[in-house]
Structure 1
Amino acid sequence: MNRNLKFWLTGAVLTVFSAAKAQQSESFIYTPQQPKPGETVEIIYDPAGTPLAGSKEVHAVAYVYNSNYRWQTVDVNMKPANGNKFNGQIAFDKSFGMATLKFTAGDSTDNNKDMSYTIMAAGTDGGPYNAPGAYAGWGLLRAERFGYGIPGYFKDPKLTDTAFYYWMNNEIVRHPKESSSALAVPFAKGVWAYQKEAAIPRIRNVIGYLTKLGGEENLLKVREIYSQVLRQKPSVDSLDAVMLKDYPQGSVARLMAYKKLNEERDFNKKITLSEQFLVDFPMAKTDAGFDEENRISYSTVYQNIVVLNVMNKNFDILTKYIDSMPYYAVINIYYKIIEIAHKREDQTDQKLAPYAKMLVNRMETFRNQQPAEFWFLLPNEWTQHFEKDMVNNLLISYVNILKNTGENQEGLKYALEAQSFLNYKTAPLNYDEVVLLQKNGQANKVSDVLIKSMYENQATPEMLDMLKANYVAQYKTEDGFDKYLESLKNAALSVASKAKMEMIKKDMPDWSMYDAAGKLIKFKELRGKTIVMDFWATWCVPCKASFPGMKLAVEKYKKDPNVAFYFVDTEERTANYKAEVNKFIKDNNYPFHILFDNKVKGGTMTEEVYNSICKAFTISGIPQKLIIDKNCKVRFIAVGYYGSASALADEMSEMIEATKKAN
């Protein structure tokens, strides 16, 4: 035995137990109770008393830790059995060390109340110890703080430093030949967490053992121990110098090149360095573990190249890199060059459409090619994860772009795909589907979409007009329409909305501002009215997106002399902002009373009143709406906009009515 390894092990022995096995429970029974690698294990799962109680269908996944010290996921086919129980089998291969299962039904998950359902393999030699990988897997499973567990398996993993060290130690003591190199880093982290400075001699023996083994892989482990455990930068720097010389295209060289391109501030030089990085260090040959440990992101490299080129009006660079672009690069680049430009109207949809299509098509390739970083997801779980990312990050705006550029058939296809995930909970998408149905000759389906949208209270003003037109056509009058509209909404949503509203009672800072007609409006002269103040800016996309909903609210109260709306334009820098505001309001036919925030003394931005509000209530961000009672007390503060004109109008109405009744 290597001298360093022998000293490392003999110095590490705690009181070591014989073979460990997971405890069975009423919900989880398996046979044989001490399976050996290569055996098939029979499972009986009883969901009674678990979050899955009463489920007619149950799925299971096993996270297997093998003797090669790697995790893998195994799909477990669960079939209904007698007494509402479920049976399944896991045919483990000969490398099996331990497995932890989770059971799911719909959106519910059972992991034994965060204690896990775990099976540990017995040794094949009939001895008293578990198979290689069993001890390590049980410790690593719960060591999420070290980055070794199953992402998302536990809500609150509980494992003491002593216990983690114990399980790493047991694995290495019992299976030194198989585990010593593979587990050197987690062992070093565990013994340091357990003993701190007292562990340094043993950690140095680990370093000596790895150094003697040699090779880039083992030297990188030494580097990680110096960097992440001992925090010895001089040692890291010395080792880096050696590795740069011995492995000029290796991981340390990749890290240095990545740091250099990240630190570069000249955009053109950053593009050049990023392109050269992909030439020198192809993503297909990278060490993903080292990259994650050292925060090397290929997605960032691709973003540097594409986004900075697009800033220089070179959209066509996308063609060169699209086919090799990693998963998160697609999502982030779409947001930066398509989503933002589309919302702000920085580019026409005709200009954006072909590049949006390229990114969506690239995203589609991942549907059936699960990226390696999602190894812990089963195919069906990956499908759900992919669909969520695809819809939320690309399809909502992509459908709108397709609609606006006349790609009606393609637009409807993606609208229906998005709706299968969102279920009519996004007003802009709902309206786009309505338009696309009409353009595709399916107007007979529009009414169903309108009703589903209103049930979720996710409708645009145009959709409300359509509903009214349908109602008048049927009943020959508008009488009763408002009551009909309310009847379409899910009452539970209104209850939930009211539950989220927190009424306060705080003094409103005094203010005076000029309106668009040049009249000075003084807050103290508004006492006796319920006041709605909506802080916005010409550059704020969500502010302007919320205006159709605010228009509905303004129109609802236009005959109420005791309710006044003021739309405060704030945080403007340009010299002609007032003209821009007035044009925007006129072009969109908004019946808003505009106020212009004052410049801060000695400043260049119009933010005096807005700053006083932020300071008084410890808030920030626009759009920001304040509901103020007749005694000049702020009763509600709402920040942001979540996409539905009808829901916003209802929320404003609920807050106004509650404020009017407040004492």
Structure 2
Amino acid sequence: MKYLKPYFTLFALTLLCQAYAQPKESLTYEPQRPLPGQTLAISYSPAGTPLQGKKDIRGVVYLYNNYQWQTIDLALKPTGKEQFNAALPLAKDCGAAVFKFMAGDSTDNNHDKSYVIMLGDPAGGMYNAPGAYAAWGLLRAKRFGYGIPGYFKNPQITDTAFYYWMNNEITRHPKESSEELAVPFAKGIYAYQGQAGIKRINNAITFLSQRGGEKNLMRVREIYSTVLRQKAPADSLDNLMATEFPHGSIAALRAYQKLNGERDFAKKISLSEQFLVDFPQSAADPAFDEENRISYAAVYQNIIILNAMNKNFDVLNRYIGQMPYYAVIVVYYKIIQIAHNRKDESDEKLFPYAKMLVDKMETFRNQQPSEYWYLAPSEWKKQFENDMANSFLITHVNLLKNIGKYDEALQYALQAQQTLGYKKAALNNDEVFLLNHQGRKAETDEVLIKSMYENQSSPEMIALIKDNYIHQYKSADGFDNYLQSLKNAAEAKASTAKLEMLNKEMPDWNMYDASGKLIRFKDLRGKTLVMDFWASWCVPCKASFPGMQLAVEKYRNDPDVEFYFVDTEERAPDYKAQINQFIKDNHYPFHVLFDNKLKGGSMTEEVYNSICKAFSISGIPQKLIIDKNGRLRFLAVGYKGSPSALADEIAAMVEATKKVN
């Protein structure tokens, strides 16, 4: 009787999993026991699901073909109210099909139980097709390193269930699955049986070793490393494979670890270049690389970015054709966006390399990278457009505008807005300039209104809105109320509702301003203070200044509110002259204070350090709102990118602070 309980458990598990595997009435299909190679007639009804009453419903299918997942779109056709049909051809090596349905941001995956169709065995009988059992088990096995990213909110499978499905697959279809599923099978055995399963795991190791080849030896290595946790045999295999397969995965891992640990830039570049020669990405094992953190993107970055630091941008010509998706994104950020924002290089010099990277990025539109296998083509398109707009086009439009390529800049701006929807102030500002330059006033005014609705506007844009208002009403009276009416009231209210009021004692401080006058904190009682900590080298600090300028101008006639812009963390001997020139060149109406050097230190950070220690924070830009009694009421770090939204946030904090006094 002692063996009865485990077998009864597995029998019950079979019934339970079969029940879960059967889609509910929302998803029906014919034939009811489909076979590989057939075409499924799918019918879907969103009634009673999260998609009920939604428009633009679409479907995605994950097909488990030959023990690999493939993701495709499901072409749904509406056939009546709350009813959709689709035809799904099944490959001859398909074992299972997994479905999800979406509308907007809502998803129906059968209330996180999944919609799964397990195909029947084409050889006949009661068994399922090769891959069906494995698909059902692997789908939920996130903790074992498997599954479909993002399909489940909370994937759950017991050790018993995972073992059961892997064992069923190996038992029913040993010819097809024994090598492919050896590692998950070993994981399932050990999770379910522990030490009692060692004999079967060793049998799997023997089987793989006898079959031979690098892939099977790598599977043995993974079993030793991740299942049995036996370092000695795993290391022995590493040495064997490094010798037997000098261009294989273990040799690649050792070469990558060597170049990754190299600190000399010239040697690092040389090792990275040789790595790409010896271990081309086309021959790599993506799963092994991911598990062992081998990043080809990082290798390309080593070569290109380190060369760019020495002003050698031309190396990009040599490698641009081979660069993987993520490397293109990072390289554009590192050598184009940062240099553009900091003005380290002229935009004229950056342009040819920026164009090269943008053109390369464009090739991925119809060449989905393998690492995004879990996205259907429609989902990939959305992912690509989002990455293109956020990682490239905001900067690229500004760069093109700066070098006078207005027509090209406008085309990219219009493309980016399809994704960003006027939610990026910098892009909105450039689009307004470009439309204005072409004399397209109606379109300019439309962008001004849409941008203001999203509260993503610059001082220049607000000035244009004001000009339009005065032209229409012959006066500026009522403009502030009009401007406020253009904003999304619900979004503005939600944004300010997140602000958390504090009541903390401020450290005392004394600092000199740009004119040499000593400003003492204790002398400022009775006023609401806004302190903005920034530095000449801080790009986001400077980017926030147009928004801070709007805030300063809002309170320019209020004698009870004062703004101080505290320059901190400077080392250059002439930093004060640089700061004063920067403020003058940009016509900022700012009262600048200079932080003090720490005793014995080389950097101006005394007051900034005292603030960070007092409130356990760090980072600039850092904005403090202080009440009339000298107590800290609000603290904000960073800049989100919108001048108008920043001005509103500062105003909301100032007004709330004034009320507590």
Question: Per the shorter chain, which TM-score range?
Answer: over 0.9
Aligned to 1:255: 253
Q: Are 1:99 and 2:88 matched, yes or no? A: no
Which position in structure 2 is the counterpart of 1:4? none
CA contact (8 A) 1:546 1:643 kept: yes
Tell me the residue number matched to 1:214. 212
Work out whether residues 425 and 453 of structure 1, in 8 Å CA contact, stay in contact via their aligned partners in 2.
yes
SS of the aligned residue for 1:430 comes to helix
* Percentage of matched positions with identical amino acids: 66
**Equivalent in the alignment of 2:43:** 44
**Conserved in 2, the CA contact under 8 Å of 1:12 and 1:169?**
no
Please tell me whether the aligned partners of residues 24 and 30 of structure 1 are also in contact (alpha carbons under 8 angstroms).
no
Question: 1:261–1:273: 8 Å Cα contact kept in structure 2?
Answer: yes
Cα distance in 2 between the residues matched to 1:75 and 1:370: 14
1:78 partner letter: L
Q: Deviations over 1:201-243 (max 9, x none)?
A: 3322221111111011101111122222233332222112211
Paired residue for 2:297, among 296, 299, 304?
299
- Matching residue of 1:622: 620
Q: What does residue 351 of structure 1 align with?
A: 349
- Superposed displacement of residue 450, structure 1: 1.1
The alpha carbon displacement at 1:389 in A equals: 0.5
Q: Separation in 2 of the partners of 1:638 and 1:591?
A: 21
Matched, 1:71 2:69: yes
**Shift in Å at residue 593 of structure 1?**
1.5
Deviations 1:396-446 (A, max 9, x none): 000000000111111111000001111111111011111112334434421
**Distance (Å, rounded) in 1 between the aligned partners of 2:417 and 2:605:** 40
Letter in 2 for 1:378: A
Deviates more, 1:434-443 or 1:356-365: 434-443
1:258-283 C-alpha deviation (Å, 9 max, x unpaired): 11111111111111111111111222
Question: Which amino acid in structure 1 is aligned with residue 201 of structure 2?
Answer: I
Q: CA deviation at 1:486?
A: 1.5
Map of 1:58 onto structure 2: 57
2:523 pairs with 1:491: no
Q: 1:229 maps to which residue?
A: 227
- 1:29, CA displacement in angstroms? 2.5
C-alpha displacement at 1:194, in angstroms?
3.0
Is 1:554 the counterpart of 2:552 in the alignment?
yes
Aligned mates of 2:215, 2:279 — CA distance in 1:
17
Q: Match for 1:340 among 332, 338, 350?
A: 338
Structure 1 residues 307-456: aligned runs within 5 Å: 307-456=305-454
Q: Which moved more, 1:18-27 or 1:301-310?
A: 18-27
String of CA shifts for 1:601-620, please: whole Å, max 9, x gaps: 33222222222222222222
How far did 1:312 drift?
Answer: 1.1
CA-CA distance at 1:489 after TM superposition: 1.4
Distance in 1 between residues matched to 2:479 and 2:72, nearest whole Å: 55
Distance (whole Å) between structure 2 residues aligned to residue 14 and residue 227 of structure 1: 30
Q: Quote the Cα distance in structure 2 between the aligned partners of 1:368 and 1:165.
A: 39
Matches within 5 A, 1:191-206: 191-206=189-204
Conserved 8 A contact 1:330-1:363: yes
Contact 1:14 1:166 in 2 (8 A): no
Q: Please report how far the alpha carbon of residue 82 of structure 1 lies from its aligned counterpart in structure 2 after TM superposition.
A: 3.3
**In structure 2, how many angstroms separate the alpha carbons of the residues matched to 1:550 and 1:398?**
25
Match runs of 1:509-528 below 5 Å: 509-528=507-526
| Partner Cα distance (1:233, 1:396) in 2 | 49
> Distance between the aligned counterparts of 2:319 and 2:238, measured in 1?
31
Mark the CA change 1:617 to 1:84 in structure 2 (over 3 Å): closer, same or farther: same
Gaps of 5+ in 2: 1-5
Structure-2 separation of matches of 1:602 and 1:168:
66
* In 2: Cα distance, 1:429 partner to 1:237 partner: 53
Q: Are the counterparts in 1 of residues 533 and 565 from structure 2 also a CA contact under 8 Å?
A: yes
One-letter code of the match for 1:518? G
Distance 1:200 1:294 in 2: 25
The letter for the 2-side match of 1:437 is L
Give the superposition deviation at 1:13.
12
Moved more, 229-238 or 618-627: 229-238
Cα deviation, 1:461-487, whole Å, max 9, x if unaligned, reads 111111122222222222222122122
Question: Shift in Å at residue 334 of structure 1?
Answer: 0.3
What is the distance in 1 between the residues matched to 2:494 and 2:135?
43
Q: Which moved more, 1:397-406 or 1:202-211?
A: 202-211
Residue equivalent to 1:290: 288
Cα distance in 2 for residues equivalent to 1:579 and 1:444: 44
SS in 2 for 1:124: coil
Q: Which amino acid aligns with 2:32?
A: Q
For residues 332 and 205 of structure 1, the distance between their equivalents in structure 2, rounded to whole angstroms, comes to 45
The farther-off stretch of 367-376 and 39-48 is 39-48
CA contact (8 A) 1:322 1:359 kept: yes
Q: Is the 8 A contact 1:165 1:194 kept in 2?
A: yes
Report the counterpart of residue 32 of structure 2 in structure 1: 33
Cα offset, 1:155, TM superposition: 1.6
Q: Is the 8 A contact 1:76 1:90 kept in 2?
A: yes
- Equivalent residue for 2:477, pick from 476, 479, 485: 479
User: What TM-score do the two structures reach when normalised by structure 1?
Assistant: 0.95
Q: Quick check: 424-433 or 49-58, which moved more?
A: 49-58
CA distance in 1, matches of 2:96, 2:213: 29
Counterpart amino acid of residue 51 in structure 1: P
The alignment partner of 1:399 has SS state of helix
Whether 1:503 aligns to 2:497 is no
Matches within 5 A, 1:125-140: 125-140=123-138
1:465 to 463, 470, 492: 463
Alpha-carbon separation, structure 2, partners of 1:502 and 1:577: 35
SS of residue matched to 1:323: coil
- The one-letter code sitting in structure 2 at the alignment partner of 1:120 is M
Match of 1:8 in 2: none
Cross-structure match for 1:5: none
Alignment of structure 1 residues 107-186 onto 2, 5 Å: 107-186=105-184
Superposition deviation, residue 12 in structure 1:
12
Counterpart contact for 1:181–1:210, Cα < 8 Å: yes
Contact 1:57–1:80 under 8 Å retained in 2: no
Structure 1: gaps (5+ residues): 1-10
Question: Structure 2: how far apart are the matches of 1:191 and 1:580?
Answer: 68
Q: 1:316 to 1:30 in 2, by over 3 A?
A: same
TM-superposed CA distance for 1:128, in Å, is 2.7
Distance in 2 separating the partners of 1:406 and 1:621? 36
Tell me how far 1:290 sits from its aligned partner.
2.0
Q: Report the CA distance between 1:41 and its aligned residue.
A: 2.5
Q: Distance in 1 between matches of 2:48 and 2:10?
A: 37
Q: CA deviation at 1:15?
A: 4.1
Would the aligned equivalents of 1:571 and 1:605 in 2 still touch at CA under 8 Å? yes
| 1:338-385 C-alpha deviation (Å, 9 max, x unpaired) | 011011111111110110000000001111111122222221111111
Match of 1:24 in 2: 23
Distance 2:600 2:641 in 1: 37
Instruction: Render the CA deviation track for 1:632-652: whole Å, top value 9, x for unaligned.
Output: 222211111111111111111
**Structure 1 residue 543: deviation in Å?**
0.5
Which 10-residue stretch deviates more, 454-463 or 629-638? 629-638
Q: Deviations over 1:77-103 (max 9, x none)?
A: 212233422222322222221111000
Choose 117-126 or 261-270, whichever is displaced more. 117-126
After superposition, what is the alpha-carbon deviation per residue over 1:180-203, rounded to whole angstroms, capped at 9, x for unaligned?
Answer: 111011112222333444433332
User: Is the Cα–Cα contact under 8 Å of residues 542 and 623 in structure 1 kept in the other structure?
Assistant: yes
